[in-house]
Structure 1
Amino acid sequence: MVRERYIRQISSLREDLLRMFSMVEQQLLRAIRCLESWDTIAAAQIIHDDQQIDEAWRALEESVIHVLATQQPVVASDLRLTSVVTAIAGELERIGDYANSIAKRVRRASRRSSFIAPPPQIHEMAQLVLHMVNTSLEAFLHQDVELARSLTDHDERVDELEDTLRALIISEARQDPDRFEAAVDLLDMVHALERTADRATNIGERVIYLATSSQTTLN
């Protein structure tokens, strides 16, 4: 009976993490749509909903602590799972923060008298980052090491796009100093996307550790 309860608790940790994955993916998707449409109403809702992700993160951490305190798992794979769940939940919470940051910048940019249209490369970057988060989820679901490793190539492309976008946005600002603050808004949004990609690769590293017990660096 005790063992069965323990198995249910371990299973519940995975399910709670998957729910958090879903929440964060949706939040990121909404932030990207918000960036592409400059929808300030949607931006306000994203900012409001960020608290739900924070609450899910705290609840998951409490669940991990409860399992460790009451069940004292001795199986190495279970110990890895609890540590990986905690680490991935932290990465997801940060991705939620980046989505929140994008939404805040959209609201701020919409109030400015000057405006810089996002270069088309920002769409490619946003979609690639969203794909990376989804890939990290699939890698966790299936403990797929090769899928996790595939995040490296995507991360390199995101870094290339960040460099390109920074150059384009700064060039725009130099042509018209009145648009400097608008450029800062866009640069911050680009940086939030790049950091999200880094968090996705961090999740990939945790998946590899879960599956192989070995530490690796993907970015």
Structure 2
Amino acid sequence: MLRERYAHQIGGLRDDLLRMGSMVEQALLRALKALDHWDTAMAAQVISDDSRIDEVWRSLEERTIMLLATQQPIVASDLRLCTVVTAIAGELERIGDYANAIARRVRSATKRPALLPPPPQIQEMAELTLQMVHTSLEAFLHQDVDLAHSLTASDERVDELEDRLRAEIIANAKRDPDCFEAAIDMIDVVHALERSADRATNIGERVIYLVTSSIETIN
């Protein structure tokens, strides 16, 4: 009976982590849609929903600590799962923060006298970042090491796009000083996307550790 309850708790941690991942994916998607359309209502929703992501994160951490404290002895594979769940939840919480930051930039940008339209390549960067977050969660769901490794190529492309976009945005700001503050907003958006992509690769590394017990750097 106790082991059944233990198995149920372990499964609950896994399920709630995936639920948190879905919430974070939606937050990032909505933040990017808000940016695309300068939609302040959608941006406000992302900002409001961030507290729900934080609540799930705190709950996962508390339940994992309680499980480790009360279920002894615990097998090595479950111990890895518990530590990985906590680590991935932390990475997802940070991606949620980056979505929140993008939404806040949208809200502040619309109050400025001049808007700087997102450069075309920011769409590719946004799609890649969203794909990486989704892929990292799929890798966790299926414990797929190859899928986790596939994040490396995408991360390299995101880094390339960040460098190009940063240079382009700065060049535009130099040509039109009235757009300087708007350029700062856009640079912060690009940075948030790059950091989200890095967090996705961190999740991939945790998946590799979960499956293989090996610590590996993929970004």
TM-score range, shorter chain: over 0.9
8 Å Cα contact 1:139/1:204 also seen in 2 = yes
2:200 partner amino acid: A
Q: TM-score, normalised by structure 2?
A: 0.99
Aligned to 2:129: 129
Query: 2: CA distance between counterparts of 1:73 and 1:197?
Result: 36
User: Take 2:25 and 2:167, find their aligned partners in 1: how far apart are those partners?
Assistant: 28
1:2 matched residue in structure 2 = 2
Partner SS state of residue 139, structure 2: helix
Q: How does 1:13-52 map to 2 (within 5 A)?
A: 13-52=13-52
Match of 1:86 in 2: 86
Aligned residues: 219
Shift of 1:116: 1.1
Q: Which segment is superposed worse, 176-185 or 81-90?
A: 176-185
Give me the whole-angstrom Cα distance separating, in 2, the residues matched to 1:200 and 1:102.
17
Superposed CA RMSD in Å reads 0.7
Q: Secondary structure at the match of 1:112?
A: coil
User: What percentage of residue pairs aligned between the two structures are identical?
Assistant: 71
- Secondary structure of the residue aligned to 1:202 is helix
Change (3 A) 1:48 1:140: same
Q: Secondary structure at the match of 2:55?
A: helix
Q: Distance in 1 between matches of 2:122 and 2:90?
A: 26
- Give the Cα–Cα distance (whole angstroms) in 2 for the partners of residues 26 and 41 of structure 1: 15
Question: In terms of mean alpha carbon deviation, does 68-77 or 91-100 score higher?
Answer: 68-77
1:1-219 mapped onto 2 (5 Å cutoff)? 1-219=1-219
SS in 2 for 1:13: helix
What TM-score do the two structures reach when normalised by structure 1? 0.99
Structure 2, unaligned runs of 5 or more: none
Quote the offset at 1:114 in angstroms.
1.3
Residue identity opposite 1:81 in structure 2? L
Give CA deviations for 1:194-218 in whole Å, capped at 9, x if unaligned: 0000000000000000000000001
Assess, with a 3 A threshold, how the Cα gap between structure 1 residues 170 and 206 changes in structure 2: closer, same or farther: same
Contact 1:73–1:79 (Cα < 8 Å) also in 2: no
**What is the rounded CA distance, in whole Å, between the counterparts of 2:118 and 2:49 in structure 1?**
25
Runs of 4+ with deviation above 6 angstroms? none
Report the CA distance shift for 1:162/1:73 in structure 2 as closer, same or farther (over 3 A).
Answer: farther
